Amino acid sequence: MKNIIFYKYPKTLMNKGTGFLSGYSHSLNPYTGCTFGCSYCYVRQMPVSTFSKEEWGTWINIKMGAAELLQKELTRAKKKGKVTIFMSSSTDPYQPIELKEEVTRSLLKVVVENQPDFLFVQTRSPLVHRDIDLLLGLKDRVRVSMTIETDREDIRKHFTPNAPPISARLRTLKLLADAGVPTQATIAPVLPSTEAFPNELVKVTNRVCVDDYFMGDGSGGRRTNNLGISLMYEELGLAKWYNPTAYRVVYDRLRKVFAEDQVYLSQKGFLP
């Protein structure tokens, strides 16, 4: 299906970090909307989606003039104190349209020239590798967090059919780490996975964050419940994985391979 694309000039770009992101001074979204359209995306329940006539995952709003706006806002914010930025909270900065539009790349150029104290890049896309030159310019002021919810491709296709394959994400993390970019694998939300999952992760990163709907959807799991995600587990005969204690299975498996200070839980894994 063809996506609906809008081009708009935003009035503001950086937003105050609040709630789950209260450890950050700002969040930064290069786009509104996200064509990965993951089934469990909590943004589906937020005004940006519920006020839209189009279904979440089918439309995207490209922010025009974003780099110029960021330059002004960043300069102003840095005069007021420490600036830590989470990119992105309600879109994926490296969704497919970024290959052509390069909004995220234009923002990274600004950030490299006028560096904040820290930038956290959250994505599930191998496209982030394109910007390795810029990410290296931020040295230890950046971390790229790659969402990898499972090692099972059948599970990935069931919950996120439009997202990139797991193998490509693992490869990207390795490329970033080998180049010297600080990374993290983010198992969020925890999806059913195999016992071998930690062995795959340890080959490509030295840090993992585990989060689930109940800790991390900003409503104790209520938003996810409203989306009817439990049915998707039942369809697979894997209802036991839709449970506030299921993350423990993955956490304990990880701890057999990773040290305690390499495995983070929920919000702690996203802090600057």
Give residues in contact with ligand SF4 (CB under 6 A): 34, 36-38, 41, 43, 91-92, 124
Tell me the closest approach of the beta carbon of residue 135 to ligand SF4, in angstroms.
Answer: 19
**What's the closest the beta carbon of residue 20 comes to ligand SF4, in angstroms?**
13
Distance of CA 248 to the CA centre of its chain: 21
Least Å from the CB of residue 62 to ligand SF4: 15
> Quick one: 91 or 193, whose CB is closer to ligand SF4?
91
- 90 vs 230, which CB is nearer to ligand SF4? 90
For ligand SF4, give the closer residue by CB, 38 or 144.
38
The Cα–Cα gap between 148 and 131 comes to 20
**Residue 189 Cβ vs ligand SF4, minimum distance, rounded to whole Å:** 9
236-245 burial by CB neighbour count: b if 16+ within 10 A, else e?
Answer: eeeeebbbee
Residue 139 and residue 95: Cα distance in Å, rounded?
24
Give whichever of 141 and 156 is closer to ligand SF4, judged by the CB atom: 156
Closest CB to ligand SF4 among 137 and 218? 218
CB 235 within 8 A of CB 243: no
Residue number with CB closer to ligand SF4 (206 or 266)? 266
For residue 47, the minimal CB distance to ligand SF4 (Å) is 15
Q: How far is the CB of 157 from ligand SF4 (least distance, A)?
A: 14
